[in-house]
A and B are shown apart, each in its own frame.
Chain A
Amino acid sequence: MIEVRDLRVEYPGRPPAVALAGVSFSLPRGTACAIIGPSGCGKTTLLHALAGLVTPAAGEVRVGGEVVRGPRERTAVILQDWGLFPWKTVWANAALGLEIRGRLRAGRARVEGLLREMGLWELRHRFPAQLSGGQRQRVAIARALALEPDLLLMDEPFSSLDALTREAMQELVAGILRRGEITAVLVTHDIAEAAFLGQQILVMAPGRISWQVSNPGAMEPGYRATGQFLDLCTRLRELCRPEVMARSA
């Protein structure tokens, strides 16, 4: 589903700041992938490149066999702090993607169904400022799913939630991804979150991927309580240490 080859991304400046220097990986359809790494290592840039929001300086990103040159019809993105618009109601936020793509008339029932499923229907006339963190997060998820995506990109979507709400949201997303219809990439700085949601886990060092870890038990009910999960967390923590990262170069 995703093929990234020798991806290089630079931000303008003199000299240009290199955010990604030759990143390559691939991801089969229906897989959930988590990207972890220290702040400023290029996680968000990589996600933006997958979303078609930044143009590579070299290399290429292919999604579904096609080179990504801009936002793609069936890619949905959930940004850090959810990217909800304070001036739009819950309904208008959730329906915005369909409205922009000119599919709102056909998708109205779908938006309603998603809002009901997420327990947001009663709140549809409210503005984001009137919602709790978890509710806003659910609006962002509903907006993304309304687009019927085959690729879901998430940038630290749960980072500003309290621990209980965060776990509930992770379960919600796991429930959606377990169906295997959507390929997902999740950027996070939370090791336990990466270990729970990522069937593939990419550990990033500044500008590159230092390790790729397979995690077949991800998203299974009860996975968090297993020794395997705890071992994986310990291992990921180890891999994120600067001296271990340096060794991978």
Chain B
Amino acid sequence: MPDRVTAHEGEARPGRRWAAGTGVGKRVRSRGKATAALTLSYLGVVVLLLGAWWALSRGLGLPALPDPVASFRALGRAWGHGLAYHTAISTWRVVSSLCLAAVTAVPAGMVLGQARVADRLAGPAIYLTYPVPKSVFLPVVMAVLGLGDVARIFLVWLVVFFQVLVGTRDASRSLSPQFLHSVHSLGASARDVYRHVVWPAVLPAVFTSLRVGLGTAIAVLFLAETWASQSGIGYFIMLAWTRLGWDEVMAGVLAMGALGMGLYLILDLLERVSCPWRYV
């Protein structure tokens, strides 16, 4: 009975449109509110941390922990005298390690999650090597790859690679078979399956593992920069330490923290741009 159906649609549509309209309005308003609330809570945390730092520094009264004011002053002084350069070097090392890790681990993880044979072959190797702390290979890596950037980037890559690999593989493996049926029924080739289904499906997991990897990457980079190094924030901190320039040490710590936070924000932004369906 087509006319009965038309009648249903006629009744239902204005209601739906009205509901959608208010929904969108509400969403925009509440999104604005949420952003304001989020900014406030971040500011609150910053104030709280600075307060705690200040109290601790005052309470301990040790030269090793200067208060925030002295540290930020030192940061301002050191920035123009080398710290900016060291921060740029460290940024380059972390970013290139993360990019290399993404480029190598994501395709491998997608295939391992989909191809059972490959996973059966590589699975035990990953399982056994994943828990080994990669940073202990620093002396070996430096002996083999020299004392330059290559060795440091390689070491950080080694750490992040496994995290991204495992994260991507697990996401690729847990892909709903319904999606695969759906794309196969459209006559998809293996390339189409990876392009239209596996890649977008694992993308959020890739960002999650990169975020987790970022923290470890910076820690490992610090270690790698404190050994036989002439550059990087790690080197700057160690140098300041040997001179007992405690406010400069804290300036380095602040630079390292800013580097981590900046990259974290960039990853967040990249995820928002490349996974728009997660933010609707």
> Which chain A residues have a beta carbon within 8 Å of chain B's beta carbons?
48, 51, 53, 71-73, 75-77, 79-81, 83-88, 96-97, 100-101, 126-130, 132, 147, 164, 167-168, 171, 175, 221-222, 224-225
- Sorting the interface of chain B by its residue count into under 10, 10 to 19, 20 to 34 or 35 or more gives 20 to 34
- Which among A83, A127, A175 has the greatest number of chain B C-beta atoms within 10 A? A83
Contact A71 B185 (CB under 8 A): yes
In the complex, the answer to whether B182 meets A79 with C-beta atoms within 8 Å is yes
Q: Which residues of B contact A171 (CB under 8 A)?
A: 1-2, 5
Q: Could you tell me the distance in whole angstroms from the C-beta of B186 to the nearest C-beta in chain A?
A: 4
- With both chains docked as a complex, state the minimum distance between the C-beta of B224 and any C-beta of chain A, in angstroms: 37
Contact residues of B with A, CB < 8 Å?
A: 1-2, 5, 8-9, 12, 16, 178-179, 181-189, 192, 196-197, 200-201, 203, 275-277, 280
Given contacts A97-B186, A171-B5, A221-B2, contact A85 B196 (CB under 8 A): yes
Q: How far is the CB of A222 from chain B (nearest CB, A)?
A: 5
Which of B2, B182, B197, B200 has the most CB atoms of chain A within a 10 A radius of its CB? B182
Knowing A87-B201, A164-B8, A168-B8, the reply to whether A100 touches B185 (Cβ < 8 A) is no
B245 CB to closest chain A CB, in angstroms? Answer: 51
Known: A87-B200, A168-B9. A71 touches B186 (CB 8 A): yes
Query: What separation, in Å, do the CA atoms of A225 and B179 have in the docked complex?
Result: 38
Closest A residue to B193 using CB positions: A100
* Given A80-B178, A132-B16, A175-B2, A53 contacting B280 (CB threshold 8 A): no
Contacts of B189 in A (CB 8 A): 100
Residue from B1, B185, B201 within 8 A of A53 (CB atoms): B185
Q: In angstroms, how far is the closest chain B Cβ from the Cβ of A72?
A: 8
Q: Which 5 A-B pairs have the closest CB atoms?
A: A83-B182, A77-B185, A87-B200, A127-B277, A97-B186
* Interface SS of chain B: helix
A–B Cβ pairs within 8 angstroms, 14 of them: A53-B185, A77-B186, A83-B178, A83-B179, A83-B181, A84-B182, A87-B275, A96-B196, A100-B186, A100-B188, A100-B189, A167-B5, A168-B9, A224-B1
- In the complex, chain A residues whose CB is within 8 Å of the CB of B16: 132
Known pairs A71-B184, A85-B197; list 14 more (Cβ under 8 Å).
Answer: A71-B187, A76-B185, A79-B178, A83-B178, A83-B185, A84-B182, A87-B200, A88-B196, A96-B196, A100-B187, A127-B280, A129-B280, A168-B8, A225-B1
Whether B1 and A222, one on each chain, are in contact in the complex, defined by CB atoms closer than 8 angstroms, is yes
Is B181 a contact partner of A79 (Cβ separation < 8 A)?
yes
With A85-B196, A171-B5, A225-B1 in contact, is A127–B182 under 8 Å at CB? no
